[in-house]
C-alpha cells in the first residue's frame, strides 16, 4: 500500500474500536471480553452503574491504560502507540480534570492552541463568556463545575473528529448540562464528529445518543441504536399462576414476593412479543431506557 | 412553525423521532399547521431541544414518506400541499387508536363493563 492509500485507509477507519478487551484489578475482573466499535458520526452513550468499569473501558480504549488482553484501536491505529496525527483528531475529557491546574484557563488555552492547527479561538472566547467563567483565575481555584466546563472547552476547541467524555455532566447543574448536550448534539450533526460519553444519568443519554451500550459487571450486555432499544425490548409481567411459562431471557428476570414475575423480552422481526404475552393476566410494558437499565442491572 | 411548538419527552418509552412525527400528524390534522407552512430546520429543532439532529432528520424523512411533509428546494421542509387539508374521519380516528387501546386495557383491569365507560367518555366530550 502506498502512502496516500494508507492515509485514506486511516482517515476512513472506524474512529474507535476494541476487540475482546479484558482487564483485571488484582484478581477482580473489571472488563470481560468487551467488543465495541463506533460508527463515524455516531453518538454512543455508555451506561452502567458506579463501578461497572466505564472509566476503565474508556481509558483502555484510548490507550491510557494497558489492558491485560485484547486490542484497542483509535482511527485504526493501536491505542497504545498513537501517532501525533491521530492525537490531534481526538478530544478527551477525563472524569476529574486536574492537568495544568496551576495555570489560568487563558494561559492553558494559549499554550495548547499552538499545538492544534484547527484551534477555534472564537469558540473558546464565546463559550467562556456565555458560561461566565473567569479565564484569568488559576484553575485550581475554580469550582468543580467550572473546572469541568473549562476542560470541555479545552477538548472542543481543536474541533476534534472524535470526542470522548467520561461522565461529562457529573459536576454540572441542569442548565449547564443541557448546554453541554446541545453542544454534543450539534457537533455530531454538523461537523460529523463521533462522540463517546459515559454517564449514569440516563435522561442525558436519551436526548443526544444515537446508540447505547450497557456495561454491567465488566460485560457489555446490550449495544444498539437508542430508538431500536425502546422499540425492541419490553417488560413482560406474568401473574404467579402462569409464571412458570415465562420465556428465558438473557437480560433480566425478576421474581416478586407474590410469585409473579417480570422478564425482559424482545420482539421478533414482525414486532410481535413472545407467546407468553398472550397468557391470561399477562401484561407487556414498553420501557424508557431508565426502566430497562434498572431491570437489567438489578 | 417554531421549534418550541414541539414537546419532547426523552424519558418516554416512545422514541423521540416517533414523538415528533405523532405531534406533526396531530398539528397538521388539527389545522394548526396549514399546508405550505415551513418547518424549522433540523438544526433549530435539535438545538432548541438539545437532541441529536439525526433523530430530527429521521422524523422529517418519515413524515415526508407518509406524505405529511414535502421538501421544498432550497427552503427545507414544509407541510404538504398536495394532501387534502381535512382528513377523513377514519384517518383521524386511527390517530386515537393507541390511547383507546390503553383505555380499554385499563378498563378491563378494573373490571369495568364498556357501558358506563363509554357513557362517561361521551359526557367528557360534551355530548
- Residue B16: which CATH number? 1.10.10.10
| Judgement on whether residues B11 and B71 belong to the same structural domain of the protein | yes
Instruction: Tell me which chain A residues have a C-beta less than 8 angstroms from the C-beta of B10.
Output: 203, 206-207
Calpha distance A219→A31 (Å, rounded): 6
B12 to chain A, any CB pair closer than 8 A? The answer is: yes
B61 to chain A, any CB pair closer than 8 A? The answer is: no
Interface contact flag, A286 B14, Cβ < 8 Å: yes
Torsions phi, psi for A68 (to 5 deg): -60, -45
* Sequence-separated contacts (24+) of A31-37 with Cβ below 8 Å: A31/A56, A31/A57, A31/A60, A31/A67, A31/A70, A31/A218, A32/A217, A32/A218, A32/A219, A33/A70, A33/A219, A34/A70, A34/A215, A34/A218, A34/A219, A34/A220, A35/A220, A36/A61, A36/A213, A36/A220, A36/A223
B34 in a structural domain:
yes
The Cβ of residue B122 has, within 10 Å, a number of other Cβ atoms equal to 10
Instruction: Tell me which chain B residues have a C-beta less than 8 angstroms from the C-beta of A182.
Output: 47, 50
DSSP H stretches of helix in chain A: 3-12, 54-61, 84-88, 105-113, 121-130, 144-156, 174-186, 202-208, 226-232, 289-297
Shortest Cα–Cα distance, A51 to chain B (Å): 24
Nearest to B53 among A186, A203, A227 (CB): A186
B108 in a structural domain:
yes
How confident is the model at residue A9, as a pLDDT? 57
Lowest-confidence segment of A59-73, A117-131, A273-287 by average pLDDT: A273-287
Domain boundaries, chain A: 3-217, 229-297
DSSP annotation of A255: E
**Chain A residue with Cα closest to B54:** A189
B76 to chain A, any CB pair closer than 8 A? The answer is: no
**What's the pLDDT tens digit per position in A77-104?**
999 999 988 888 999 988 887 778 889 9
| Judgement on whether residues B58 and B97 belong to the same structural domain of the protein | no
How confident is the model at residue B91, as a pLDDT? 75
B84 in a structural domain:
no
| Judgement on whether residues B61 and B7 belong to the same structural domain of the protein | yes
The Cβ of residue A34 has, within 10 Å, a number of other Cβ atoms equal to 26
A39 to chain B, any CB pair closer than 8 A? The answer is: no
Global pTM value: 0.80
CATH of domain A3-217: 3.40.50.300
> What band does B83 get if pLDDT is binned at 50, 70 and 90?
low
Average pLDDT over residues B41-48: 92
B46 in a structural domain:
yes
First to last CA, chain B: 33
| Judgement on whether residues B93 and B62 belong to the same structural domain of the protein | no
| Judgement on whether residues B73 and B99 belong to the same structural domain of the protein | no
The residues in A 158-187 lying below 8 A from B, measured between CB atoms, are 178-179, 181-182, 185-186
| Judgement on whether residues B19 and B61 belong to the same structural domain of the protein | yes
Domain count, chain B: 2
B10 to chain A, any CB pair closer than 8 A? The answer is: yes
> What band does A10 get if pLDDT is binned at 50, 70 and 90?
low
Shortest Cα–Cα distance, A270 to chain B (Å): 18
**What's the pLDDT tens digit per position in A184-236?**
888 887 778 899 999 888 888 888 999 999 998 889 988 889 888 888 888 88
**Residue of B47, B52, B109 to mutate for A, most A C-beta atoms under 10 A:** B52
Instruction: Tell me which chain B residues have a C-beta less than 8 angstroms from the C-beta of A186.
Output: 43, 46-47, 53
| Judgement on whether residues B10 and B64 belong to the same structural domain of the protein | yes
> What band does A144 get if pLDDT is binned at 50, 70 and 90?
confident
| Judgement on whether residues B116 and B93 belong to the same structural domain of the protein | yes
B55 in a structural domain:
yes
How confident is the model at residue A7, as a pLDDT? 58
Domain hosting residue B41, numbered range: 3-79
Instruction: Tell me which chain B residues have a C-beta less than 8 angstroms from the C-beta of A41.
Output: 54
Instruction: Tell me which chain B residues have a C-beta less than 8 angstroms from the C-beta of A289.
Output: 11
| Judgement on whether residues B67 and B7 belong to the same structural domain of the protein | yes
| Judgement on whether residues B50 and B7 belong to the same structural domain of the protein | yes
How confident is the model at residue A8, as a pLDDT? 57
Grouping H, G, I as helix, E, B as strand and the rest as coil, residue A5 is: helix
Cell of B71: 421538501
B95 in a structural domain:
yes
Amino acid at each position: 500500500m502506498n502512502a496516500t492509500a494508507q492515509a485514506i485507509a486511516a482517515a476512513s477507519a472506524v474512529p474507535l474500536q476494541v476487540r475482546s478487551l479484558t482487564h483485571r484489578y488484582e484478581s477482580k475482573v473489571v472488563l470481560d471480553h468487551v467488543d465495541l466499535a463506533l460508527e463515524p458520526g455516531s453518538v454512543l452513550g455508555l451506561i452502567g452503574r458506579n463501578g461497572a468499569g466505564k472509566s476503565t473501558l474508556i481509558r483502555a480504549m484510548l490507550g491510557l491504560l494497558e489492558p491485560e488482553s485484547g486490542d484497542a484501536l483509535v482511527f485504526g491505529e493501536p491505542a497504545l502507540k498513537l501517532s501525533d496525527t491521530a492525537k490531534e483528531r481526538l478530544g478527551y475529557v477525563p472524569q476529574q480534570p486536574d492537568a495544568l491546574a496551576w495555570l489560568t484557563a487563558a494561559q492553558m488555552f494559549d499554550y495548547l492552541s499552538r499545538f492544534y492547527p484547527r484551534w477555534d479561538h472564537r469558540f473558546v472566547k464565546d463559550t467562556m463568556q456565555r458560561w461566565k467563567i473567569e479565564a484569568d483565575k488559576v484553575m485550581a481555584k475554580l469550582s468543580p463545575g467550572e473546572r469541568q466546563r473549562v476542560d470541555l472547552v479545552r477538548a472542543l476547541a481543536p474541533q476534534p473528529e472524535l470526542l470522548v467524555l467520561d461522565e461529562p455532566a457529573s459536576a454540572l447543574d441542569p442548565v449547564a448540562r443541557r448546554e453541554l448536550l446541545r453542544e454534543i448534539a450539534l457537533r455530531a450533526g454538523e461537523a460529523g464528529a463521533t462522540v463517546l460519553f459515559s454517564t449514569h444519568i440516563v435522561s442525558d443519554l436519551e436526548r443526544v445518543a444515537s446508540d447505547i451500550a450497557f456495561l454491567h459487571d465488566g460485560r457489555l450486555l446490550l449495544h444498539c441504536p437508542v430508538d431500536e432499544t425502546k422499540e425492541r425490548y419490553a417488560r413482560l409481567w406474568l401473574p404467579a399462576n402462569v409464571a412458570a411459562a415465562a420465556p428465558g431471557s438473557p437480560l433480566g428476570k425478576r421474581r416478586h414476593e407474590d410469585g409473579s414475575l417480570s422478564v425482559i423480552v424482545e420482539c421478533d422481526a414482525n414486532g410481535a412479543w413472545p407467546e407468553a404475552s398472550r397468557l391470561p393476566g399477562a401484561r407487556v410494558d414498553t420501557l424508557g431506557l431508565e426502566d430497562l437499565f434498572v431491570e437489567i442491572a438489578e | 412553525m417554531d421549534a418550541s411548538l414541539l414537546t419532547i419527552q426523552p424519558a418516554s418509552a416512545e422514541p423521540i423521532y416517533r414523538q415528533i412525527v405523532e405531534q406533526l400528524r396531530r398539528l397538521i390534522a388539527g389545522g394548526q399547521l396549514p399546508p405550505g407552512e415551513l418547518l424549522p430546520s433540523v438544526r433549530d429543532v435539535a438545538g432548541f431541544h438539545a437532541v441529536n439532529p439525526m433523530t430530527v432528520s429521521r422524523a422529517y424523512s418519515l413524515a415526508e414518506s407518509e406524505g405529511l411533509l414535502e421538501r421544498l428546494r432550497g427552503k427545507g421542509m414544509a407541510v404538504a400541499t398536495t394532501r387534502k387539508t381535512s382528513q377523513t374521519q377514519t384517518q383521524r380516528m386511527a390517530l386515537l387508536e393507541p390511547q383507546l387501546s390503553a383505555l380499554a386495557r385499563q378498563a378491563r383491569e378494573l373490571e369495568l363493563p364498556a357501558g358506563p365507560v363509554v357513557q362517561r367518555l361521551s359526557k367528557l366530550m360534551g355530548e
